[in-house]
Amino acid sequence: MVDRPNDTTLSIFISNSPAPAPWNANGPLSIDSDGATIHLSGDTSEQLRAIKQAARKLSSLTRSASLQGDWNTDQSFAFCTAFNDARQTYKVQVAEQDVQLKNALAAHAFTVELINDTPQNVSPEALAQRAAKWLSGLSPEYISYTTITGEELLEAGWNGVYEVGRGSDRPPVLLDLDYNPTGNPDAPVNTVLVGKGITFDSGGYSIKPSEGMLAMKCDMGGAATVTGALGLAIMNGLAERTRLILCCAENLISGHAYKLGDIITYKNGLTVEVVNTDAEGRLVLADGLLKASEYQPKRIIDAATLTGAAHVAVGNHYNAIFSRDTALRALAMDVAEQVNEPAWPLPLEAFHQHNCPSPYADTANSRPQKGGGAGGASNAAGFLSRFVPDEGKGWLHVDLAAAFNSSATDTQPAGATAQGIRMLAKLLN
């Protein structure tokens, strides 16, 4: 193997031919005096996975790479996002200027940086402000926004966000952002994106163990993902009016925190008994979905790092999707395949609304057992479906099982992956 200092820019080639001797002919990688070559075989999914695996291996040789030869946008994106670290200190030079690639990498970098930042830096207010600032910078003439903060939430009736966030000294926030490129203030809203923005999740009084709490800065991954997706869609020329709602809170313990046995009354009159303060994401998203419904959009799409059950079901390479709108679910699956962001549908039926019963309220927010019991991801989606109109027509829920890795994998650096931003952006455009 060629010995290269860590600060040397390594040329990277791709080839559809097997690796030459003495390299393993079935292996994905060879290195010579010109640089490294990634050898591709199989279908597109297998090729992109091989590129990511090779990028991870090459990241141990150098922090700087230059892509040479005929790389397409998806191949370049796969390499650039895998050849990095949690602090985004690696650099990749791309031979030709590809606007689609440039936009995707910019949205990816924003999303990853926001999720990987410390929970001290990313308070609920900071999350809302950073999302609004970034999007406003992309399209200042078409974006306006408002925030509802702290006690204002209680006064406005957004009780889910308020209750989850009231235990923290840093107040909860509901961001409502309007992207309207039509110039018509009465233009209909095509899509509302809703993101779970729990900037740190201790679990509340249903407290997590330390090892389960360490990565909980990523619990605002839904908010970061929908923001990154909207930004990418804007950069790619989004022409439809779109709104973004972020439900931002810290789930902490204090004398003012919400407790097990509390009952939350939502704007639609539904009452919810809290049987697990660590099932807080659905409580804030319920407000976001109700707010989204007020705009009577064609579609509502929410994204959240919502359940460990989804991660158990699909692993860390897939996001889980839920919808009772079969056409929208099929479209989301098709788009996910087109942009090479693996996703998989999990069950959601009307009966899932009733799988968390309460003798004291219309429903509980979970089941009082570890992980919410069997079918926990579907039951969480069923809970959310109570807060969308038309029996879920036009609503898509994305449980971001692939949003974050506590340590590096064979295809991704440690930290945020931003998986989902390209799928959601393409659904918008």
Segment 380-411, tens digit of pLDDT: 999 999 999 999 999 999 999 999 999 999 99
Query: pLDDT tens digits for 140-159?
Result: 999 999 999 999 999 999 99
Q: Do 167 and 275 fall within a single domain?
A: yes
Q: Do 62 and 121 fall within a single domain?
A: no
Is pLDDT of 220 > 90? yes
Domain end, chosen from 67, 96, 125, is at 96
Q: Do 323 and 415 fall within a single domain?
A: yes
Residue 62, Cα to own-chain centre: how many angstroms?
29
Instruction: Spell out the alpha helix ranges (H) of 252-409.
Output: 281-294, 308-314, 326-338, 376-385
In sequence order, what are the residues at sequence separation of 6 or more whose Cβ sits closer than 8 angstroms to the Cβ of residue 129? none
Q: Active site residue: 4, 57, 91, 208, which one?
A: 208
pLDDT score recorded for residue 373: 80
The answer to whether residue 101 sits within a structural domain is no
pLDDT score recorded for residue 4: 41
Domain end, chosen from 46, 65, 96, is at 96
Taking every pair of Cα atoms in the chain, the longest distance, rounded to a whole number of angstroms, is: 72
**24-49 mean pLDDT:** 92
Q: Active site residue: 49, 282, 291, 386, which one?
A: 282
pLDDT score recorded for residue 369: 79
Query: Is 208 designated active site?
Result: yes
Three-state DSSP state, 116: helix
Q: Do 57 and 91 fall within a single domain?
A: yes
What's the total number of domains in the chain? 2
pLDDT score recorded for residue 7: 59
Tell which wins on pLDDT, 127 or 2: 127
Domain holding 319, by residue range, is 108-428
Ramachandran region, residue 71 (left: φ > 0; alpha: ψ -120 to 50; beta: rest): beta
Tell which wins on pLDDT, 317 or 96: 317
Pairing of strands 9-15, 35-39: parallel
Query: pLDDT tens digits for 167-197?
Result: 999 999 999 999 999 999 999 999 999 999 9
The answer to whether residue 2 sits within a structural domain is no
**264-276 mean pLDDT:** 98
CATH number of the structural domain spanning residue 229:
3.40.630.10
